[in-house]
Amino acid sequence: PNCLRPQRVCLCEALPEVVETDTQVVLFTHPKELKRSLCTGPLLELCLKRIIKFVGKVFPDPEDHPALHEQLCQGGRQCFLLYPGPEASDVAEIASKSPVTLILIDARWRQAKIMLNRSTWLQALPRVSLPHKQSGYIWRQQPAPGCVSTLEAVSEALNFLEGNDGAHIKSLLLRPFEKMVQLQCQFTPNAKDKNANLGLPMSVEKENANPLWNRSRRRKRRRNTQSFDFA
């Protein structure tokens, strides 16, 4: 595989041979992700053999794109959406159903929420979530504890879904990600881990509970309090 990155930030030496998995991974990618140099979806495409990427803002229904949905269910696979929510099961609970198709929304969290709301088909899928882990994206603060990059999410899910090979596959996928973080930190030598003090995981009480919106509301409350002080 060739990462196609400039020599000073080349990741080719960290890329594994294409990894064979029973699980089929599907990336529903927002178009803006294609312009971001440090997104992790492209690394997954280089690492995994059984991966499908659909770029767009709306995921097509079966009648709109039958060929895509035929691929999703190939081999009798059941589709699951990897996305947090009150109805989400732990991903480890579906290991017995392997092989499965695991769909991820590859976008910023605010965009992902909108993309999910636009698709009744995605909303109807059984949903799974991951154990809370701290993201290795040390220079990019995640909106809440347990939020991780697309590659980190896939590697953690495959750790549970790929049986005895899971831990090895996870380590192979994380290797280029960790190399990317290491190289990026060379340009910001005094960078601190922005996710180190996020605190304990937040429980998801509502489907539309988005940490970014909560943060925005807190800022508004602070501004309102300041305006009252000056009154």
What is the chain's length?
A: 231
pLDDT at residue 228, as a whole number:
37
What is the tens place of the pLDDT at every residue in 156-182?
Answer: 999 999 999 999 999 999 999 999 988
Sign of the alpha-carbon dihedral angle for 135, 138, 144, 147: negative
The pTM score is 0.79
Average pLDDT, the chain: 83
| Res. 204 pLDDT band, cuts 50 70 90 | very low
By the 8 A CB rule, do 202 and 211 touch?
yes
Query: Which residues lie across from 55 on neighbouring strands?
Result: 29
List Cβ neighbours of 168 (8 Å cut-off, separation of 6 or more). none
**High-pLDDT (> 70) share of the chain, %:** 76
Distances in Å between the Cα of 18 and the Cα atoms of 4, 5, 100, 150, 158 are 16, 18, 19, 18, 15
What is the tens place of the pLDDT at every residue in 122-166?
Answer: 999 999 999 877 766 665 555 555 678 899 999 999 999 999 999
pLDDT at residue 222, as a whole number:
52
What is the tens place of the pLDDT at every residue in 48-79?
Answer: 999 999 999 999 999 999 999 999 999 999 99
**High-pLDDT (> 90) share of the chain, %:** 59
Higher-scoring residue by pLDDT: 159, 192: 159
- Report the interhelical angle of 211-230 vs 109-117 (nearest 10°): 120
Higher-scoring residue by pLDDT: 199, 107: 107
Distances in Å between the Cα of 33 and the Cα atoms of 3, 149, 192 are 16, 12, 25
pLDDT at residue 231, as a whole number:
32
By the 8 A CB rule, do 14 and 175 touch?
yes
